A and B are shown apart, each in its own frame.
Chain A
Amino acid sequence: MIEAKGVVKRFGARTILRGVDISVAAGETMVIIGGSGCGKSTFLKCVVGLLRPDEGSVTVDGMDIAQCKSEAEVADYRRRFGYLFQDGALFDSMTVWENVTFGLRYLTPIPPARFRRLAREKLALVGLKDIEDFRPAELSGGMKKRVALARAIAAEPSYILYDEPTTGLDPIMSDVINDLILDLQKQLKVTSIVVTHDMKSAYKIASRIAMLHEGRVLGQGSSDDFRASADERIHQFVNGLSQGPIKMKLKDYEPDAAGGA
């Protein structure tokens, strides 16, 4: 179980998260939606321990990364997670199979002699075959995402965190990735947090949805709750409307609603 309580994160004078409370039960797929820059990815990085909250806490199965003192504790915490980065973050200098098995050396006691076979198995799980010796530069966007997904699940984590898994993909490939997330959910019985602003994807894969707006949770509930939400800001976001309480400037130099420049 992942439990975030009052998470605040600042970068210099800018406060990105202003007290986020989200809990994700075991086996659940929590989808976090929200506009660009609302703090979704920052929250995900706080969960995995890439960023430390300035206030509040994130506990995973009762463990708080901020309280982990020894290297073994930190390793134990990290072992629980697989993380899919927005653009894959595949290592350019390595082949596909080396990318997929990279974490096994550090996260598992599996002998390196078995890595190549394991890479093939994990790639098959995400629907890829015979690309083990390719370099990331030789792959399409969708293939890169799938290789990154194979890498994220290679060490068999209990939690998978997805940062914008369908961004930059065509609608069909987006749906393929959604199906993969659902498949992995069924096969591996993992708990997932998916950060996205793709509502079609959110409705398809979510057990529950939470919406972040200006660093706070605006609402949480099922897909149906969100479809029928009476909150004007949620309604505007899930229906993708330019007019509504959430103001976005068309041009950077456009005056804002308060009349300032």
Chain B
Amino acid sequence: MMETWLAALGGATLGVMEALGQFAFLTQSTLRWIFKGKIEWRQTLIQCARIGADSLPVTVMTTFFTGMVLALQGGASTEHFFNQPLFVGMLVGFAIVMELAPVMTALVVAGRAGAAIAAELGTMKVTEQIDALYTLGTDPVRYLVIPRFLAFVLVMPFLVVISDFSGILGGWLVAKVKYQIPPSVFWHDIIDSMRVRHFMHGYIKAYVFAVAISLICCYKGVTARGGAEGVGKSTTQAVVLSMVAIFVLDYLATAVLVALGIT
């Protein structure tokens, strides 16, 4: 009984270590090819368009409603304490720009574009298309992973900036319609209190999330095994792992940025 338990524990530990090793190898190969400058720009542009087009409508809608909720709750809370809604613009601006726009955008992108990448690469893996790339003279990391990695790194900050605006617009709409806060007050709340470093706080996080999501989803795709069921499992794991990574990295990135005074 004890032996079986130990064997299971040992097997699971070895599995995790092997996966971490493979992930580290993929990351190292990706960086090596980028530093060599061997980049498939056409593929990268195609991926940029796909990731952007796939994710933009959902990220805009998500952050717009998040901004509306923030304004509603912020206004209601301050109204409760001060008999009038105060600092709604500031609350929405800081929460969206520093935290919610990058995190919500990353979650949506992981669920939309990340899942699509894991499923596409997984299907290519189980149908031997990735092996075919090798026999046709190119490296699968160079042809498949790097364009997706670069596309995420290039597109994600844009998506986050657009989310910043859509979130604040959502907040502004509620502030105007529900609380009759004049636009000048709402915008001054934001402009007077927000500095470039606050914007950079969220903007830097966009890069951190882009690197994590792209590598996790590509890794789960190229290591898929076992036909349609395997592709399904890999895709689910890619999304779940990306989401966990987003929350963990969000905390770590915040801690580093606070320590550096970018807050």
Contact = CB atoms under 8 A, between A and B. Distances in A.
Interface of A: 45, 48-50, 75, 78-79, 81-83, 85-87, 89-92, 102-103, 105-107, 151, 155
A85 B131 contact: yes
A48 B135 CA distance: 7
B136 A107 contact: yes
A83 B137 contact: no
Nearest to B36: A71
22 contacts: A49-B134, A50-B135, A78-B134, A78-B135, A78-B137, A81-B135, A82-B135, A85-B128, A85-B131, A85-B132, A87-B128, A89-B129, A89-B132, A90-B129, A91-B124, A91-B129, A102-B136, A103-B136, A103-B137, A105-B137, A106-B136, A155-B136
A48 B129 CA distance: 15
B127 interface: yes
B22 interface: no
A49 B124 CA distance: 19
A155 to B, nearest CB: 8
Interface residues of B, number: 12
Contacts of B132: 83, 85, 89-91
B138 interface: yes
Given A48-B135, A78-B135, 16 more contacts: A45-B131, A50-B134, A50-B135, A75-B137, A78-B137, A81-B135, A86-B128, A87-B128, A90-B132, A91-B129, A91-B132, A92-B123, A92-B129, A103-B135, A105-B137, A151-B136
Contacts of B127: 87, 89
Interface in B121-175: 123-124, 127-129, 131-132, 134-138
A106 B135 CA distance: 10
- Tell me the interface secondary structure of chain B in the complex: helix
A112 to B, nearest CB: 11
Contact of A107 (B129, B131, B137): B137
**Across chains A and B, which 6 residue pairs bring their CB atoms closest together, nearest first?**
A106-B137, A103-B136, A89-B132, A83-B135, A89-B128, A107-B137
A155 B135 CA distance: 11
A48 B128 CA distance: 14
Nearest to B128: A89
Nearest to B137: A106
A49 B128 CA distance: 14
- Of B123, B129, B135, most buried by chain A (CB within 10 Å of CB) is B135
Contacts of B128: 85-87, 89
A4 B134 CA distance: 21
A102 B131 CA distance: 14
A10 B124 CA distance: 24
Interface string B111-127: 00000000000011001
A79 B131 contact: no
Nearest to A91: B129
- Of B124, B129, B132, B134, most buried by chain A (CB within 10 Å of CB) is B132
A85 B136 CA distance: 12
A48 B133 CA distance: 12
Contacts of A151: 136
Contacts of A75: 137
Contacts of B131: 45, 50, 85, 89
A45 B136 CA distance: 14
A89 B136 CA distance: 11
B50 to A, nearest CB: 11
A75 B136 CA distance: 10
Nearest to B123: A92
B251 to A, nearest CB: 36
- Of A79, A91, A105, most buried by chain B (CB within 10 Å of CB) is A91
A89 B138 CA distance: 15
B133 to A, nearest CB: 8
- Of A50, A87, A155, most buried by chain B (CB within 10 Å of CB) is A50
Nearest to B120: A93
A78 B134 CA distance: 8
Contacts of A106: 136-138
Nearest to A86: B128
- Of A45, A81, A89, A105, most buried by chain B (CB within 10 Å of CB) is A89
